[in-house]
Amino acid sequence: MPKLKSHKGIKKRMKLTRRGKVMRRRANRGHLMSTKGAKRKRNLRGKQPVFKGQVKTYTRLITG
C-alpha cells in the first residue's frame, strides 16, 4: 500500500504542537483592519487551538 501524502494546504495553515494540539490562525485578520477597533484586533492576535472534533482529521492530513 502506498504512503499517504500530507495535505499541503492544511500543512501551510495549521501547526501541530509537540503535545498533539492543532493550532490555527484566527479569522477576520486578512484585510479591512482600519475599521476594526484596537481591542478587537488585539484579541485576534496569536494562534488558537482547533475545535476538538476536528483534531483527528487535521492531524491525519498534516502528518500524511
> Which domains does the chain carry?
8-63 (4.10.410.60)
* pLDDT at 42 (0 to 100): 96
- Is the distance from CB of 23 to CB of 46 less than 8 angstroms? no
d(CA 27, CA 47): 10
* pLDDT at 60 (0 to 100): 93
Please tell me the pTM assigned to this model. Answer: 0.80
62 three-state secondary structure: helix
Q: What is the pLDDT along the chain (64 residues), one digit of tens a residue?
A: 888 899 999 999 999 999 999 999 999 999 999 999 999 999 999 999 999 999 999 999 999 8
Go through 15-38 and write b for each residue having 16 or more CB atoms within 10 A of its CB, e for each that does not. Answer: eeeeeeebebeeeeeeeeeeeeee
- Spatial neighbors of 5 by CB under 8 A, at least 6 apart, are 64
